Amino acid sequence: MKIRHTVIFTFYDTTTKAQIDEVVSRLSSMGEYLQRELGVTGWTVARHLPETFKARRAHLLEDGIFPSLEALAAFADSEEHKRVLELTAQVCDWMTVDTIISEGSGQAATAKTQDES
């Protein structure tokens, strides 16, 4: 079962450009590790488009597809993840969503309602 792991980050008003750049750097480095060691695919770290940014919107996106729940758990316990958390805890809030990827589609699976079962 593949898992899409998505995180959006909203930086504090007091966060500096240098701190934001360091978060991006750590996320990118972590992605290289995850692809090499855990088989993660589609790793993306992207800043919000300046042209559409408005107050109270997220500033940054992290997204990747993990090959299994075990890989996701290994990621959560990794030194690379701890290194990212060490900084992000000081400079931003974040929200995480993990979803199942339906086989062959690359899209998140949707739950059936009771009427569809």
| More confident site: 3 or 50 | 3
DSSP state, residue 1: -
pLDDT in tens, 13-36: 999 999 999 999 999 999 999 999
Mean pLDDT of 32-52: 94
**Upper half-sphere CA count for residue 37 (Cβ side, 13 Å):** 14
CA 77 remoteness from chain centre? 15
> Under a CB-based contact definition with an 8 Å cutoff, are residues 1 and 55 in contact?
no
80 Cβ contact partners less than 8 Å away, ≥ 6 residues apart: 29, 30, 33, 34
Residue partners of 76: CB distance under 8 A and separation at least 6: none
Q: Which amino acid is at 44?
A: T
Report the mean per-residue pLDDT for the chain. 89
Asked whether residue 116 carries a pLDDT value surpassing 50, the answer given is no
Please state the pTM of the whole predicted model.
0.83
Cα–Cα separations (whole angstroms), residue 94 to 38, 52, 109: 23, 20, 23
Predicted local confidence at residue 49, as pLDDT: 86
Reported as a single tens digit per residue, the pLDDT across 59-85 is 999 999 999 999 999 999 999 999 999
Tell me if the domain spanning 2-101 has CATH number 2.60.40.10. Answer: no
Please tell me which residue, 16 or 51, carries the higher pLDDT value: 16
Extents of the domains making up the chain = 2-101
User: What region does 107 belong to: left with phi over 0, alpha with psi -120 to 50, or beta?
Assistant: beta
Mean pLDDT score, 34-49: 96
Predicted local confidence at residue 108, as pLDDT: 54
